[in-house]
A and B are shown apart, each in its own frame.
Chain A
Amino acid sequence: AQKVTQAQTEISVVEKEDVTLDCVYETRDTTYYLFWYKQPPSGELVFLIRRNSFDEQNEISGRYSWNFQKSTSSFNFTITASQVVDSAVYFCALSEAKRGANSKLTFGKGITLSVRP
């Protein structure tokens, strides 16, 4: 069975601080996808990134960066120079990737990030 653990439940930082959101996953699949979604107060889940288990290269997109380490089953998300607009709940998720797989997303419990001015 698949499982995603986001051990941090709430994080509070001051604007311009860097913050890292941790994600640890469990799966027996050899191919899988990892995701991060952001849920602002409006409720809509906003897609941030999808990584294939074959691709361990880290990714940077503006102030966001992701560190994927298969050896430790982790897919951590770092926000550099945080801003108030980054305040939201962040979810890490996992799905199978093999042909004909069940594409359902297994989500972690989410991390509530508060960025104070």
Chain B
Amino acid sequence: KAGVTQTPRYLIKTRGQQVTLSCSPISGHRSVSWYQQTPGQGLQFLFEYFSETQRNKGNFPGRFSGRQFSNSRSEMNVSTLELGDSALYLCASSRDSQKYEQYFGPGTRLTVT
């Protein structure tokens, strides 16, 4: 069974630009969660989507948004990029994160210059 895939793996953007990251969950998984990992703050929860609806949200500004499609694939968008948005963005999928464990993808390394 294929694992969670994330594209692109690496991205370099300039301050003020926007970016879209993509995540394809494991087949059959309906829950997709996004996390941001930085050396200073560690791993922080961004939001979770289940069956195309945002089910939970972390404490991030509105510049961070996401969506989920009918095939469970999810995208995350960050608008008006700031230097502090440089991070590894990890996507996790689960059959249902409230009942089952989450499996993570390899992440997208975003660098904002």
Binding site for B on A (CB under 8 A): 35, 37, 42-47, 50, 91, 93, 95, 99-110
Contact = CB atoms under 8 A, between A and B. Distances in A.
Contacts of B92: 45, 105
B88 interface: yes
B16 interface: no
A93 B35 CA distance: 13
Interface string B8-49: 000000000000000000000001010100000011010010
Given A45-B90, A100-B98, A104-B58, A91 B43 contact: yes
A30 B95 CA distance: 24
A105 B102 CA distance: 9
A42 B106 contact: yes
Nearest to A48: B101
Given A43-B88, A91-B43, A109-B42, A104 B103 contact: no
A110 B88 CA distance: 15
Interface of B: 31, 33, 35, 42-43, 45, 48, 55-56, 58, 88, 90, 92, 94, 97-98, 101-107, 109
A37 B73 CA distance: 23
A42 B31 CA distance: 24
A104 B90 contact: no
Contacts of A43: 88, 106-107, 109
B51 to A, nearest CB: 14
Nearest to B9: A43
Contact of A35 (B42, B45, B101): B101
Given A43-B88, A45-B90, A104 B48 contact: yes
B107 A104 contact: no
